[in-house]
Amino acid sequence: MMSDHFLDARNLGCPLPILKAKQALSKVPVGEILEILATDPGSPEDFVAFCTSTGNELVGQGVAECGAYRFLIKHLE
């Protein structure tokens, strides 16, 4: 799945990847997708909880070629 916007949150500890994602999503038009790369080991659980609590949709999750966690979030709210 392709993304419309990108956030590099690698090498940032908790809670910075989530805080940066929240800031970035505020600039993403509704319906578009933000791709995030993060290396924080708690990121997978954090982004699931973040999407649940904010009403946005986690449309993709996995590991990028660089070894970082990769998240695709569709801005719905």
Map out the domains of the chain with their CATH numbers: 5-70 (3.30.110.40)
Known catalytic residue: 51? no
Strand order in the sheet with 33-38: 5-9, 33-38, 69-74, 57-63
Q: What is the pLDDT of residues 16-70, one digit of tens each?
A: 999 999 999 999 999 999 999 999 999 999 999 999 999 999 999 999 999 999 9
Gap between the Cα atoms of 33 and 28, Å rounded: 8
Choice among 11, 14, 22, 41 that is catalytic: 14
Which distant-in-sequence residues (6+ apart) come within 8 Å of 22 by Cβ? 50, 54
Asked whether residue 77 carries a pLDDT value surpassing 80, the answer given is: no
